[in-house]
Amino acid sequence: MRFAGKVAVVTGAASGIGKEIATAFVREGARVVIADLNQQGADAVAHELGGSAHAIGVAMDVTNEAQVEVGMSRAIGHYGRLDVLVSNAGIQTVAPLEDFDFAKWKTLLAIHLDGAFLTTRAALRQMYKQKSGSVVYMGSVHSKEASVLKAPYVTAKHGLIGLAKVVAKEGAAHGVRANVVCPGFVRTPLVDKQIPEQAKELGITEEEVIKKVMLRETVDGEFTTVADVAAAVLFFAGFESNALTGQSLVVSHGWFMQ
């Protein structure tokens, strides 16, 4: 039980990767706050994880300053401390740059970047009081590499690496570390939605999107799994010294090699 007595907030944990991260933390003894836009989904995951002794759902739009402040206070108030923030909530929107809708560009940047900033700011206030904590950002191979049709996503995911480095530098004096996990394609609702969209934009079949676009550069043609990503997040979250701070780890079946 690597995280016995610890408390983690995971944003976007009503679904996909975040849900698996929350599950892994509970398995390792942590109590977890499932923070999500989707209150019903967050409550359902908390219930699956054993109810409020292990997990609670908190409704939060990570782009809304007031909702983040209230949600993070509720989370910290409920379990009395905060050891880990996983800033994971995210969306994907694909379109070529020349047609990209400005409102959609701003929405995507707000969820990934404003969301990371607002939840980090609230988490740091508590972590600094405790003189310890770990922040893990959900990056992507697109934190390091670009793909067509994903301008705001690639921009936002690169930005998270910058934010993590600042948190690492400012947080060190207060015992707080920050790192980024950068997955390749993982079969979640976010990716399932993209497959037909990309097929349409690129004029190819859905099968070709998977084989020729998503997995072409991997060493084995395999999707990364939610369990792979959760393992990397817990590794960063539980690391015991400042030797690992301001870093990013790519988990992508060799799609991107540093």
Q: Is 135 helix (H, G, I), strand (E, B) or coil?
A: strand
37 is a contact residue toward ligand NAD (CB under 6 A): yes
188 is a contact residue toward ligand NAD (CB under 6 A): yes
138 is a contact residue toward ligand NAD (CB under 6 A): yes
Interface segment toward ligand NAD; rule CB under 6 A; list 10-18, 22-30, 124-132, 197-205 = 10-18
Sign of CA dihedral 186, 189, 191, 195: positive
63 is a contact residue toward ligand NAD (CB under 6 A): yes
70, 95, 172, 191: which one binds ligand NAD (CB under 6 A): 191
Running DSSP on this structure, what letter comes out for residue 246? S
66 is a contact residue toward ligand NAD (CB under 6 A): no
159 is a contact residue toward ligand NAD (CB under 6 A): no
Query: 15 φ, ψ to 5°?
Result: -150, 165
127, 136, 163, 186: which one binds ligand NAD (CB under 6 A): 186
In angstroms, the CA 196 to CA 200 distance is 6
Interface segment toward ligand NAD; rule CB under 6 A; list 16-24, 46-54, 198-206, 238-246 = 16-24
198 is a contact residue toward ligand NAD (CB under 6 A): no
Q: How far is CA 75 from CA 9, 126, 144, in A?
A: 7, 11, 32
2, 27, 28, 38: which one binds ligand NAD (CB under 6 A): 38
Running DSSP on this structure, what letter comes out for residue 225? -
For the question of residue 153 being annotated catalytic, the response is yes
The tokens of 63 are what?
């782009």
Nearer to ligand NAD, 88 or 134 (CB): 88
Q: How many residues bind ligand NAD (CB under 6 A)?
A: 29
30, 36, 122, 209: which one binds ligand NAD (CB under 6 A): 36
Running DSSP on this structure, what letter comes out for residue 217? T
Query: Long-range pairs for 165-169 at CB < 8 Å and ≥24 separation?
Result: 165/246, 167/120, 167/124, 167/135, 168/245, 168/246, 169/246
- Residues recognised as catalytic: 153
